[in-house]
Structure 1
Amino acid sequence: MIESSRSPELPAGLLMHPQMIAACRARDFSAVFRIVKTRAGIYPSMIARRCDLTPSRVGEVLSGRRQLLHMDVIERIADGLRIPGHMLGLARREWETPVGLRDAVKEQPRPALPVSSPSASLPGPEVEGIIALTARPAPTPSTLLALRAGIEDYWRRDDQHGGETLRPAVVGQLRYVVGLLNGTSLGAIRHDLHGVAAELARLTGWMYFDARQYTRARSYFTEALRFAREIDDREFTANVLACMSLQATYQDRPGDALALVNAAQDEARAAVGTTPRVLSMLSLREAFAQATLASHAGTHAAIGEARRQFERIKGSDPDPPWVTYFDEAKLVVDTGIALGRLGEAATAEPLIADALRRASGTNRRGRAFHTFWLARTQLQLGKLDHACQTATEALEPAASVGSERVAGHLREFYDELAPHRREPAVLAFESRLRDLLPARVSASRRP
């Protein structure tokens, strides 16, 4: 159905709600329709339009006078409301798979290449794929080592430069691993390959999130969850849910953010051997959600739990590699950011400043991101000169990394300077901004 392919997604928190899960499992569409009406604002007329049903039929279902049993109708509901197929006992729907993972390659007419083109002598991607299928050896433990080393390199380069140019390579690597998983003689290595696929899918989702392409990010995060579920890796499932929670705060959906991070905490507590570092990181993600909800008590409780768990960390803890970034400096800066979101700028400022002094490494995006947070906090406190000086320090790392999230913080800070445009500190900042990032100045001035 063409219309359903363009239907907006339901909130992630709604799809994970126990009532929604139970209603879908029982195929109780009266309950499903009521839930999407009350919790997502999708009224009966909209349900009818999305699912290619008549309004009267939807009304009968809502009143309990009609049941929907035909498979084609159930499939239309899944597609129209964007309910994942497994929730209704259906096969995976086509729209659930990110475009980058779809195996089908549609034949399209291709214009003739100029004779002088250097690429004319190179095989096309279809030929490369055929050759790869015939030459691909069975994966071995060394294959896993190479794939994991590649993931570590991708993360490092993403932190330094952003993911825009890396993303095609990561998606290609993911497709390669998915191809291996479709093999028939993997044996014990299948479990580890699922873990690699989950990591690659999460990395791709993170890159799309950093680019503020939220729908694609969510698709890949969902793929990562599926791969992690295949091997019952509850700790990694918690990690992916935490990423989705952070994305929800950027989308101004604090209710979803809190539901997702609470689900992440449940997964982590249910896992065997979850380390205090993981629990501390998740508590600070909860603090972000609570602060976005303007919950003073909830934010401070989550921060307190994060500190308590961090104090339990031991050098011998078997931390998963994806959480080792969460050191004391990160604990401090995230605490400051949570308090800044809550509006407690006076407490947040020294924390963020201290964390920036302690931070080391080559994470340019993190440096720019946190420095802009400090500048915005100083501006809230009326320290205009300090804020402009701090923001100026953030411009160089911001210019060297391709990150829409960082650019968004720069634009927001620049907009907050509007009442002070004639002040010398602001003029100096704008001059430096124009030198390093002229396109960002133009974008900020658009009406």
Structure 2
Amino acid sequence: MPGPQSYTGLPPELVASSEFQRVCRERDFGQVFQLAKKWAGVYPSRIAALCGMTPSRVGEIMSGRRSLAHIDVIERVADGLRIPGAMLGLAHRPWEIPAIPREFKRTPGQPSASIDEVAAVAEDGGEASGIDDLLTLADGKVTRSTLVALRSSVEDYWRRDDEHGGASLRPAVVGHLRYVSQLMNGADEALRRDLQSLAAELARLAGWAYFDARQYSTARTHFTQALRLSRLQDDYLFMANVLSCMSLQATYDGNSTDAVALACRAQDSARAVGDQPLVMSMLHMREAFAQATLSDSMACHQALDRSRDAYEQARGREDVAPPWVRYFDESKLIVDTGIALARLGESARAEPLIAEGLRRESAAQQRGRAFHAFWLATAQLQQGSLDAACQSASLALDFTASLDSPRVAGHVREFHGRLAPYAREAPVISFEQKMREVLG
């Protein structure tokens, strides 16, 4: 039998399977080992050698008589079987960090930073090798069909992000980003620019996935990468998009002054392109969020007014707006206005707006509905309506059940903390019971 040093990792189709991702997320190592045996022929003795355990201990884990809880042993399993750290809730493992290509061919006039900057994402904290095998969509030859396939994957990632959260998408998204950076080496100039645009979109998506996982430092790295890539192409509209994401993250991270600055810079970037009312409506709303967290009521209301006015200008012209901003529809305008008002403490005005936005939202937008239900509960609690607040929070838990979004889990904890003064009340006890059932 070959030694551990010759092991190259689990089959890509196993790593990509929803079942394997689920058991990794649950840290059900009995099933992890069973699937490794079934799919890859990695038997207990082999697992033991790879992970620094005895065969008998591996056998006990596989039979369910023993579990793994110590983080150092879990890290040995991740390293031994080559399971990306994010899949097990760990930091990036050392073997995940890819080497940055030192040389690549450039066509005349191409900015020297483009490929290096894409690769630098991994150096600064991106996911890593081992995912590449999942992403071999073309046999070293870049064609228009390659781009179509890659763009289709990005669209699917965004759909899955809406429905189930972004945390579990991180390894695959960053793997796609690395793959696109490699494809640039062999592409002609026209395809290279398209690949660079795609890399910017993947970097933004990676940033968003890490943001949803509440890993803000890594998210910022990817957002910065997306900003650099779009700047290389003078794509000021997409720069505004990335800056808006960074503003929202700064709001969540407690850096409200930075959030305002980023939102205003995004508006300046969008204005440089020309008439884009839907984009401007969304960007003014980002500013309103940031101003609300600063408790600047006047500035927040002014930003809300500008957002509403810009949206009115955009009516009937949504189809000419960039695809990435079309999610910002009337329902989103209404519910986000309510959230900004709730942040200001104007709960009586906020509650009907959030309730109406939530009523209008698509059933597919599970994460958004969970967030908005928690904000509805917050507005109701601010008004002293404990029963209604707990009912709305229970509704949010229903949406949360199908999500992998630490951001949503953070909202659960924050709302639960606000219930501490009412810990003995029946609605709170009922909510806590449901929270344990849903979140374990």
TM-score normalised per structure 1: 0.69
SS at match of 1:232: coil
1:270 correspondence with 2:265: no
Displacement after TM superposition at 1:163 (Å): 2.2
* Conservation of the 8 A alpha-carbon contact between 1:201 and 1:223: yes
Residue matched to 2:157: 154
Residue matched to 1:321: 323
* Conservation of the 8 A alpha-carbon contact between 2:125 and 2:221: no
Residue matched to 1:432: 434
Residue matched to 1:136: 140
SS at match of 2:320: coil
Residue matched to 1:280: 281
Give the number of equivalent residue pairs.
326
Displacement after TM superposition at 1:133 (Å): 12
Q: Which runs of 5+ in 2 are unaligned?
A: 1-112
Flag the 1:325–1:377 CA change in 2: closer, same or farther, 3 A: same
SS at match of 1:402: coil
Displacement after TM superposition at 1:350 (Å): 0.7
Displacement after TM superposition at 1:436 (Å): 1.7
Give 1:228-377 correspondences, 5 Å limit.
228-272=230-274, 274-316=275-317, 317-377=319-379
Residue matched to 1:398: 400
Letter in 1 for 2:313: R
Letter in 1 for 2:337: T
Displacement after TM superposition at 1:102 (Å): 7.7
Flag the 1:210–1:103 CA change in 2: closer, same or farther, 3 A: closer
- Distance (whole Å) between structure 1 residues aligned to residue 320 and residue 337 of structure 2: 24
Displacement after TM superposition at 1:95 (Å): 11
* Conservation of the 8 A alpha-carbon contact between 2:128 and 2:174: no
* Conservation of the 8 A alpha-carbon contact between 2:124 and 2:221: no
- Distance (whole Å) between structure 2 residues aligned to residue 383 and residue 125 of structure 1: 49
What is the CA deviation profile of residues 157-192 of structure 1, one whole-angstrom value per residue up to 9, with x for unaligned ones? 111112232211111111111111233x41212222
SS at match of 1:400: coil
What is the CA deviation profile of residues 186-244 of structure 1, one whole-angstrom value per residue up to 9, with x for unaligned ones? 12122221111111000000000111101000000011011101111111100100100
**Aligned-residue CA RMSD in angstroms?**
2.7
- Identity across the alignment (%): 56
Q: Which runs of 5+ in 1 are unaligned?
A: 1-88, 106-123, 439-447
Letter in 2 for 1:335: T
* Conservation of the 8 A alpha-carbon contact between 1:100 and 1:171: no
Residue matched to 2:168: 165
* Conservation of the 8 A alpha-carbon contact between 2:341 and 2:347: yes
Residue matched to 2:178: 175
SS at match of 2:281: helix
Residue matched to 1:36: none
Flag the 1:370–1:294 CA change in 2: closer, same or farther, 3 A: same
* Conservation of the 8 A alpha-carbon contact between 1:245 and 1:261: yes
SS at match of 1:188: helix
1:186 correspondence with 2:188: yes
Displacement after TM superposition at 1:327 (Å): 0.5
What is the CA deviation profile of residues 126-165 of structure 1, one whole-angstrom value per residue up to 9, with x for unaligned ones? 9x59x9699311x222222221111110000111112232
Displacement after TM superposition at 1:92 (Å): 7.7
- Distance (whole Å) between structure 1 residues aligned to residue 117 and residue 429 of structure 2: 54
Residue matched to 2:47: none
What is the CA deviation profile of residues 235-265 of structure 1, one whole-angstrom value per residue up to 9, with x for unaligned ones? 1100100100111111111110011111100
Displacement after TM superposition at 1:390 (Å): 0.6
TM-score normalised per structure 2: 0.70
- Distance (whole Å) between structure 2 residues aligned to residue 145 and residue 394 of structure 1: 36
Residue matched to 1:208: 210
- Distance (whole Å) between structure 2 residues aligned to residue 424 and residue 352 of structure 1: 25
Higher mean C-alpha displacement, 342-351 vs 163-172? 163-172
* Conservation of the 8 A alpha-carbon contact between 1:96 and 1:219: no
- Distance (whole Å) between structure 2 residues aligned to residue 437 and residue 305 of structure 1: 39
- Distance (whole Å) between structure 2 residues aligned to residue 134 and residue 163 of structure 1: 26
- Distance (whole Å) between structure 2 residues aligned to residue 431 and residue 364 of structure 1: 21
- Distance (whole Å) between structure 2 residues aligned to residue 276 and residue 259 of structure 1: 20
What is the CA deviation profile of residues 321-356 of structure 1, one whole-angstrom value per residue up to 9, with x for unaligned ones? 111110000000110111111111111111000101
